[in-house]
Amino acid sequence: GQQVMQIPQYQHVQEGEDFTTYCNSSTTLSNIQWYKQRPGGHPVFLIQLVKSGEVKKQKRLTFQFGEAKKNSSLHITATQTTDVGTYFCAVDRGSTLGRLYFGRGTQLTVWP
Amino acid sequence: EADIYQTPRYLVIGTGKKITLECSQTMGHDKMYWYQQDPGMELHLIHYSYGVNSTEKGDLSSESTVSRIRTEHFPLTLESARPSHTSQYLCASSGTGNQPQHFGDGTRLSIL
């Protein structure tokens, strides 16, 4: 079964609006990774969160890891057309073997 | 940028043919993965390897097979291709611990 639930599956926004995607797990996570896949491209690693309550920023992107380490979010402020793509969260099971379980992804469409 | 290469990028071939999708990485990563992804859909892990002579099946049942004779090389083979095998196949690798996965550009496979 799915290790992590990601919502929403699709999001359509006008350029300049904000966007958020969420990942939720029923179990405590050791860490969570976020990837972005442009249309026609391959997933590209964005960031990894490890600590409870951690917040990291990359320009207009803000990543959060919940206090209980069971959920995470990716927020984009003032979306641009270059933000178009599918955003995936990915988790492991606390193992160091490197196997990741990807969420279903959120497809972001940005209208100019 | 990650050094992981997949060939061919595109392949259109008839039913019943034997196909080998190539994946090579020059980063010395022990861990390698094969994912199957339909357009706009989630990533499905079909095979992974933790090192030479180690291969495991992933979550999605696949009629493909893999081998890992050399660290840098992780080919995927379909003995007899069928239209249901039409999809994109993504190869990835990662280093020690929970390091992020680096993806190749993928092979878009169409079986007629």
C-alpha distance from residue B24 to each of A55, A63, A66, B11 (Å): 35, 32, 37, 18
Alpha carbons A98 and A15: distance in angstroms, whole number? 36
Longest Cα–Cα distance of chain A, Å, equals 42
Query: Sign of dihedral through CA atoms B47, B18, B82, B111?
Result: positive
Q: Please indicate if any CB of chain B lies within 8 Å of the CB of A9.
A: no
The predicted pLDDT at position B15 comes to 96
Task: Please spell the DSSP secondary structure of A25-92, one letter per residue.
Answer: -SS--S-EEEEEE-TTS-EEEEEEE-STT-EEEETTEEEEE-TTSSEEEEEESS--GGG-EEEEEEE-
Q: Which range has the worst mean pLDDT, A30-34, A94-98, B17-21, B105-109?
A: A94-98
Residue B91 DSSP SS3: strand
d(CA B64, CA B80): 9
pLDDT reported for residue B60: 83
pLDDT band at B72, cuts 50/70/90?
very high
Using a CB-CB cut-off of 8 Å, the residues of chain B touching A43 are: 43, 90, 92, 101, 103
Determine the residue type at A49.
L
Q: A30 touching B, CB under 8 A?
A: yes
Q: How far is CA A83 from CA A19, A110, B17, B94, in A?
A: 10, 7, 39, 25
What rounded mean pLDDT belongs to chain B? 93
Tell me which DSSP letter residue B85 carries: G
Average pLDDT over residues B24-36: 95
Q: Do B40 and A107 touch (CB under 8 A)?
A: yes
* Whether residue B2 has pLDDT greater than 60: no
For chain B, the farthest-separated pair of C-alpha atoms sits apart, in whole angstroms, at 41
Give A104 to chain B, closest Cα distance, Å.
5
Per-residue confidence in pLDDT tens, chain A, 112 aa: 457 999 999 999 999 999 999 999 999 998 999 999 999 999 999 999 999 999 999 999 999 999 999 999 999 999 999 999 999 999 987 665 668 899 999 999 999 9
Q: Which of A99, A101, A102, A109 is the best mutation test for B, with the most CBs of B within 10 A? A: A99
Higher pLDDT, B58 or B7: B7
Determine contact, residues A92/A101, Cβ cutoff 8 Å: yes
